[in-house]
Amino acid sequence: MEKIEQLERPKSVAVPEPTIRRMPQYLHFVKALHEQGEPFVSSTTIARMLRLDSTQVVKDMSYTGITGRTRVGFSTEELLHAIENFLGYNRKHEAFLVGAGYLGSALIQYNGFRDSGFKIVAAFDTDKKKIGTEIHGVPVFSLEKFRDLASRLHINIGIITTPAGVAQSIADLMVVWGIKAIWNFAPVAISVPENIIVQDTHIYSNLAVIINKLGQSNNR
Amino acid sequence: MEKIEQLERPKSVAVPEPTIRRMPQYLHFVKALHEQGEPFVSSTTIARMLRLDSTQVVKDMSYTGITGRTRVGFSTEELLHAIENFLGYNRKHEAFLVGAGYLGSALIQYNGFRDSGFKIVAAFDTDKKKIGTEIHGVPVFSLEKFRDLASRLHINIGIITTPAGVAQSIADLMVVWGIKAIWNFAPVAISVPENIIVQDTHIYSNLAVIINKLGQSNNR
DNA sequence: CAGTGTGAAGTTGTTCACAGCA
DNA sequence: TGCTGTGAACAACTTCACACTG
């Protein structure tokens, strides 16, 4: 009984999160190849450049639904579209950002998002000096305008680049204001209702890994 | 024979990387508790706040060498020191940053690093307008000064916040100039000799996960 | 033979189950 | 009972082994 239930939806076999995380890298690399006129690329080549295992690359590619030619590899053009489609980059994803400091500004102008379908369309802050200005063409509004603008523009992604102390309260507001996914850069964990997606990005964690490895290599 | 070889070094049981990544979060939370005068904290409390499994927390704590009191939890003070020691935050870690744009500036002033023993002591750029200025008290030098200053100040961590196109060449230079660990924020994978530590921080990847989850929840 | 594609084995990390303690 | 601490079961991800193809 249970089994049959599960078989109802056979196609989406739950893509491993690590695979999803690697996709943008594949996209970046394949796009570069395609732009310089390379018609094909093999998993081995991708693996070498991205320092991955080649069968890993093959497995990851299979999730996009693409099928390669033996001895030749994958068509860069096909692959490009397959990955973009997988990542949802052909659909539009617009976000509001709260906290127009350095980090917020960095995200707004981050070129990694270029041609990804993702765009930060407005920033919000409580600092009167920032309100009314623009960062890289993106306007900075008073936080009070968030709710109204979000519903009018159908925004469902909110980015938090505020100091740690106010991050939770901003998250709470975002939820009330109809945001479905929160991308949090403040160095604290954020609590939200179950149905809201949260992605905490703790820059800090990467530093911890570096320092740890550095310490180990000194001991050797 | 092989087995005996492995048993030679029994004490350092290789800390799982996810554990290392969680440590800074523990530190942040425990520090806050300690500052507001809380003498003890249990793994259950930490787990609830950080949305983790409580046995996970216990396991992680065991790597710091700390031992808790049953029914009471861990002394916040002891825990604080144990984690700081684990992370190497009592030692000093100084870094040079190349690419003094928004992202570089954001890192320099990022308060997540406050009292972590980690400090970006100088920034480097090729843009003449930036050279000679200061970002949050950190001087911006011409890239040519990197080598000399790095050896004089014994810097072994390099941060790359340049555009993707030049990231690899900057990494190559850093290696030649004696850097031991590279923290890369450019949206490309960087290749370095085996003995050099690299941590690629692809902001992008987190976005991919968010968009993917959003897509899934819309289908439901 | 240099590729894709895939099931099986191995590894790593997480969660469970339970002993011990105050 | 509510906590620490730990070995065992489980789940997720990666790597290996090999069949297949032009």
- Ordered structural domains, chain B, with CATH: 17-87 (1.10.10.10), 93-206 (3.40.50.720)
Contact residues on chain A for B111, CB-CB shorter than 8 A: 163-164, 187
User: Best of A35, A207, A213 to disrupt the B interface by mutation (most B CBs within 10 Å)?
Assistant: A207
Q: What is the DSSP string of chain A?
A: -HHHHHHTS-S-----HHHHHHHHHHHHHHHHHHHTT--EE-HHHHHHHHT--HHHHHHHHHHHT--PBTTTBEEHHHHHHHHHHHHT-SS-EEEEEE--SHHHHHHHH-GGGTTTTEEEEEEEES-TTTTT-EETTEEEEEGGGHHHHHHHHT--EEEE-S-HHHHHHHHHHHHHTT--EEEE-SSS-----TTSEEEE--HHHHHHHHHHHHHHHHH-
A16 touches strand D (CB under 7 A): yes
Using only the alpha carbons of chain B, give its radius of gyration: 21
* Predicted confidence (pLDDT) at residue A114 exceeds the cutoff of 50: yes
Rounded to an integer, the average pLDDT of B72-78 is 96
Q: How many angstroms separate the first and last alpha carbons of chain B?
A: 56
Token pair 């030692």 in the structure block, residue: B91
Span A191-203, pLDDT tens digits: 999 899 999 999 9
Within an 8 Å CB–CB cutoff, is residue A199 touching chain B?
yes
**Which residue is closest to D20 in terms of CA–C1' distance?**
A70
Rounded to an integer, the average pLDDT of A146-152 is 98
Within an 8 Å CB–CB cutoff, is residue B180 touching chain A?
yes
Rounded to an integer, the average pLDDT of B138-153 is 98
B206 touches strand D (CB under 7 A): no
Query: Which of A88, A118, A205 has its CB closest to that of B21?
Result: A205
Distance from C-alpha of B110 to C-alpha of B108, rounded to nearest angstrom: 6
- The more confidently predicted of residues A174 and B117 is A174
Flag residues 12-71 of B with CB < 7 Å from strand C: 16-19, 52-53, 55-56, 59, 69-71
Q: What share of chain B in percent tops pLDDT 70?
A: 92
pLDDT band with cut points at 50, 70 and 90 for residue B58:
very high
Q: Using CB atoms and an 8 Å cut-off, which of residues 72-101 of chain A contact chain B?
A: 87-88, 93, 101
Q: What share of chain A in percent tops pLDDT 90?
A: 81
Is there a contact between A148 and A167 (Cβ–Cβ < 8 Å)?
no
| Residue A145 vs residues A172, A176, B24, B117, B139: alpha-carbon distances, Å | 16, 14, 34, 39, 37
Query: Which of B15, B102, B189 has its CB closest to that of A102?
Result: B102
Lowest average pLDDT, out of A91-100, B64-73, B107-116, goes to B107-116
* Predicted confidence (pLDDT) at residue A5 exceeds the cutoff of 60: no
Instruction: Give B105→chain A minimum CA distance, Å.
Output: 6
Report the SS3 class of residue B147.
helix
H/E element holding B116?
Answer: none
**Among all residues of chain A, which has the CA nearest to that of B118?**
A207
**pTM, whole model, 2 decimals?**
0.90
* Predicted confidence (pLDDT) at residue A97 exceeds the cutoff of 90: yes
Span B164-197, pLDDT tens digits: 999 999 999 999 999 999 999 998 899 999 899 9
A64 touches strand C (CB under 7 A): no
For chain B, how many residues are written?
220
Rounded to an integer, the average pLDDT of B74-96 is 93
Lowest average pLDDT, out of A186-190, B61-65, B147-151, B176-180, goes to A186-190
Lowest average pLDDT, out of A2-6, B32-36, B157-161, B187-191, goes to A2-6
* Predicted confidence (pLDDT) at residue B43 exceeds the cutoff of 90: yes
A168-207 burial code (b ≥16 CB/10 A, e <16): bebbebbbebebbbbbbbbbbbbebeeebbbbbbbbbbbb
Rounded to an integer, the average pLDDT of A118-129 is 96
Span A51-70, pLDDT tens digits: 999 999 999 999 999 999 99
